[in-house]
Each structure stands twice: as structure tokens, then as C-alpha cells.
Structure 1
Amino acid sequence: MRALVTGGCGFVGRHLIQRLLAEGLDVVCVDSLVTGTGALHPDLWQRFTRSRFSFHEEDCRTFFTRAPEHFDYVFHLAALVGGRVTLETRALDVAEDLSVDAELWQWASRAKPGSVIFFSSSAAYPVSLQTVDNHRLLAEDMINFDAAVGVPDLSYGWAKLTGEYLMKLYVERYGRRAIAYRPFSGYGEDQDLAYPFPAICRRLLAEKGAAEVYVWGSGRQCRDFIHISDCIEFIWQTRELLPDGASLNLSTGIATSFIQLAETISQQIGWQPAVIGRSSHPEGVFYRCGDTALQRSYGLTPSISLEEGIARMLEHLRLEQASYALAM
């Protein structure tokens, strides 16, 4: 079995590739290693035999221009993405994801892989359902291309929503298999500091003992934090079960405000500061949490609680600090 993973050197891609190799697949990874995306060269994280892993350091659009190879699976993660600052300040750069996704589907129509797994995002959901006055758990059927489609979150949301629409056309017009996943706020120990979870953990470790700490925005905004290992497990368990053209949330169904997150992290570190919001920093939508009913119908439940995930992150950061101190 062969798998192509575009954007495979990013946070999700690294964990996915390690799982694919552990399951016995041969993997081709394509990644241009764009600075600021959290992508890491495979030499820094790849521990499997190179006979089953090959790496192309290039834009996947260049890869798509070559003579098509056969792949049993194509996992498409290539995208310009980062924390909230990236999404808000580099909106037109992020819009280039539209080109990346369009060329994926055109290539797939020629290469005819066994299955295309498209990584969408919770940002594709209508922002009108994520406000202070009107918010709810976000269910997969809230995106319906046969009815009115709500406005997603910034250019990144539009790109992912469009990518899902192209998937629908690919399945319906070309008769091929493709599915999509909508990750919510995935996190893990090796995540780039452009994302809030590791950034808050590291900052609170450094500020231990302070009477007051801050989080971005009002701090009341809520996210659905899911550990990367649960995301990968959910994908592996359902990759053959989802109907053609279907999308599935990767979420816990538990909404946690950033104030709550900072309070829980601080307690694990060993002190209880006052946590306040800093409104001069962006916060995004007010409430983004996934409905888990469809996930549960496939027997999916998260195995790592937020508390355990925090403990893992803090231990990782402490070991990292200790290694740095020894190196000095």
C-alpha cells in the first residue's frame, strides 16, 4: 500500500506519517517547508527506515505536474496555515490555498488514486453560528452545498469550504472516492508556538508566581481542544468507513474558554494567578466546538483528556528547557 502525504512535514502530517509507516504503508511526503508554518525537515523527526519513506522538498503543485503515480491513499494537508495572527494578517497569502486545492483535485482526476483524504477545517463552518448571542455545537450537516452555505472564517475558511465543494464535484462527476476531516483545535507536544495551546503553556511556565497573567482577546472565547493522537486515531479508524464525499469532525464536544485553559495550566504548574483578557490581541470567533454525534456513531471517543494533554505538554517543555540548559 502506498500513501502520498502533501504538507507532511507540518504538525498533523508528521503524526499521520508516523502512523502510516507503523501500519506498514510506504509513504511519499511532499512539503515545501515554508518558514513560519511549523514544518520540520524529516531529518528532525523521521525515525523509520528510509526504504519505505521518501521526501520531496517542493510545492505539491510542482509534484502534481509530473507523470501520475498510483497511490492507494492521498492525504492532502498542504496549506498555508498558522495561528490567528497569520490568518488575520496574511489573508491573501492564505488564499493561495485555493490554488493548491484546485490543483490537487485536477491531479486526482488524472492520477485516479484509491482514496483522497482531504483535510478541511472547523473554520469552514458559518461564523454566524459561533457568536456570543448565537452559538451551538457545530454538526457536519451544517455545511450543505445543496442549500444555502453560511460565511466561513476568513480566507482560510473560504479555502477549506471551497476544497470540500471541489471534493463533492470530484466524487459526483468523476465517480472517485474522497472524504474530508474537519479538525477543531488540535494540539500536541511538538506543535509550533504560533498556536495558542503550546504558547500559553510555555508562557505560564516562564511566568510562574506572577499575580496576574493574560490571554488573548476577552479570554471568554471557547475552543474545542483535541489531542493530536486522538485525531490520528479517529482518521485511521474511519478512513474506509465514511461514505464517499462525507466529512467528519475531529473534536471532543467540550468547549473550553482561554481563561479556563490558562487557569487549568496554572494549577498544574502549581499556582493560581488571576487570568485576564488582553483585548488588543485577536480572539477570532466566540464559540467553536464540534458536535460529536456522528463521531460516536463510529465508536469514536477521545482517549486523552485536556488535563492529561496539559500534563504532557508541560513535561515536554520542562524536558526541552533542561536539554537547552545542559547544552549551554
Structure 2
Amino acid sequence: MKQENYIKGRGAQQNTKNRFFEFSSEVRDDFLEFCRLEGEEADANKTQYLPIFPRTIVNKISNPDAGMLYSMNPYQGCEHGCVYCFARNTHEFWGYSAGLDFERKILVKEDAPKLLEAFLKRKSWRAQTIVLSGNTDCYQPAEKQYGITRACLEVFLKFRHPVGIITKNAMILRDLDILKELAKHQLIGVHLSVTSLSEDTRRILEPRTVSIKKRLETIAVLSENNIPVNAMLAPIIPGINSHEVLPLAKAVSENGALSFGYTVVRLNGAIGQIFEDWLRKTMPDKAEKVLQQIRECHGGQLNDSRIGIRTKGEGVIAQQIRDMARLAKHQYFKDKNLPKLNMNLYEENKIHWPNAQGQLKLF
């Protein structure tokens, strides 16, 4: 049962100290009492959208476990508020906390489409899949207001360049028209996250995401329109959703997913403190058991930085999860394959460029 001081609609229940700062702040009980007596809100719990102006937008990924070489993120921070999110730690680079700041202070890159176009015009660039949302969800609530993701997809279509999308939001269907055009040329792959079939679990684990029903419907609509979907059953958290591997795989397959992948949760950096605080407030009776099982997957620690091991874990529990995933692939994905994206169209269209900075003539 949740505690009385639980912050509804948020994953993190605190702001952790920024590791790059010498000083930190805390909310004291006497301040909270003062606010109560004065009839004031101690924390309005509002989301802020803050514009930033980076010089580049495409990032090269050096992490061999990431499964991608290049990514771009129209937004930093994510209002979805998934309590386990590995991207929380990156918010500290911007001067904020990995906790509540990560989901309430959203940095917006309105120049992203222009920066992407400049990047794709480089003569030295050779087509490689660029993944939208390698860090934070490109279809989080801010996208409804800013439309940056849609504008970037228009750039990818213009250049006939392959793009991947990682999301857990049904808002992707807003851009079905562009996705269908990309799919015609085998330029798009969607990776849609489904973490649990339980709405009760989803509400506290991923508080500002769409329902599980809506996510499965999204997979179905994309698949019906020949847009290839890989389901991401991630992260698998021992004691919370680890019993759902088989039913999750069955559900996404029945709705048209062509493949699935999974990771075992790891709680690096500030995420360990954030997750443990959240767990003790939402599931106090099972908190110790869950934390212990996570440690058993990562050599006795909540965090794990070992390349090749950190995403799947080790030990008995991790092996059980691995076995269930193997069985699920055999039962539900035996004759399914995710197609490779087309790297040739972008290269072929380079001959239409008058010069490296000139206007493309693709149409």
C-alpha cells in the first residue's frame, strides 16, 4: 500500500543529489509544516518545458550493449516518469537531479530537425540507422505541443534515410502517414516497450505512459500497416514482472510484433536510490525480496557495469528469465523475423546533390 506522502503521477518520489554539485537541497519537515499551516503548496508538481540549443543532434553510441550505433533525442528528461529509467543519470549532466527533475524539467530541442538535415547533408556520412529515443522517449507528452519528432521523420523521409524509433506511447500513430511512406522503402523499424500486462503495475512503474491495452493496439495498427515492430519487454524486474515473460511475448506476438527483446533491470548511479525509495513507498511488503533478487542478478549489487553481462544479468534468476525468453521465442516467434532497413536509397540519392550544402532534389 502506498504511503500518504506518495507523489501521485510521478515515478521518482524525491530529488537525489547531483553528483557533479558540491551542495544539495532538501525539503525539511518544518518547511512542510509551515506550508500546511499557511495553506500553501510545498511543491506544485508541475512540468516545465525548457528550450535548449545544442550544436549537434546525432550521437554516436560507444556502448556495445546498446544495440545501436547512432541515436538522437529531441527531448532530454522524460515526463513518462518510469522509475527504473537508465536515462535519469544523464539529467545530471544538464545540472538537474536524476529524480523528480528528470520528469518535471523537460529540455526541448526545437532546432533538432534543422540540425538533423545539416548532419545528413555531410558528404562524409554513410547511411547507418539513426534511432530516435536512444535515451528519452521522442513521443512523450511534450511532443504533442512541439511536434519535433514528426518534423525529424519528415527529414528522414526527404533524405530516404533509415530510422528507428523507441517509444511506449500511442502518439506514434499520429504520424502513421509518414511511417507508412518510410515503410514502403524499408526505412523504418519501431521498437515499442511493453513492460507488464497489469495496469496496476504499469500505473506505479510508468505513471504517465499510456495503458497496456493502448500499447498492444498500437502494435496491431502499426503491423496492419506493414510497419515492422519489435516489442521491448524491458526491463524485466525480478519479483515485479519477471513472471510475465511468456504472457507478454504471447500478447505482443498476437498483435503483430515480429520479434521481441528484453533486459534485466540494473540500477546504476542515482537510480538505485530512486528505485529503492519508490519501492519502499509502493510495495513495502515485498521491497526487500525484490532488491535482493535484483542483487542476485548482478553479482550482489544493484548496479552493474560489466559489458556483456549488465543487460541480461547472471545467476539462477537471470538464467530462469533467459530460459523463459528462449521458450517464448520458440513458441510465439518461430517463423517471424524483423527485416533489415535499407541503407542504399540514401547513398543513391546523393548523386542528386548539387553540392554538399545544396538543396536535395529527391522528388
TM-score using structure 1 length:
0.37
Q: Which has the higher strand share?
A: 1
TM-score using structure 2 length:
0.34
Structure number with larger C-alpha Rg: 2
